[in-house]
Structure 1
Amino acid sequence: MGWNSTITLVNGATLADLARLGWRVTDETLDWEEATMSAHEGIAAWSQGDTLVLASGGPELIESTDRLAALGPVRAGMFSSVSDTYVWRMAGPDQQREWVWSADEQVLDEGEPHPEEAALDSLDEDNLFHLLERVGGLRFDEQLEEARFVVVDADGAGAAPEPAPEPRKKGLRRWFG
Structure 2
Amino acid sequence: MNRFTSSIRQSIETKDWYGALMTALTLPDICGKLETPDVGSKARSVRWLKVWIEPLYTKQVGADRQEHVFLSAEDCYSLRCSFLHEGASNIEEQRARKALEDFHFITPLPGMHIHCNQSGNALQLQVDVFCNEVADAVDKWAESVLSNEEVQQRMKSLIVIHDSSAGVRF
Q: Does the alignment reach a TM-score above 0.5?
A: no
Q: Which is higher, the Rg of structure 1 or of structure 2?
A: 2
The TM-score normalised by the length of structure 2 is 0.28
Higher relative contact order (CA 8 A, sep 6+): 1
With normalisation by structure 1, the TM-score equals 0.28
Flag the structure with higher helix content: 2
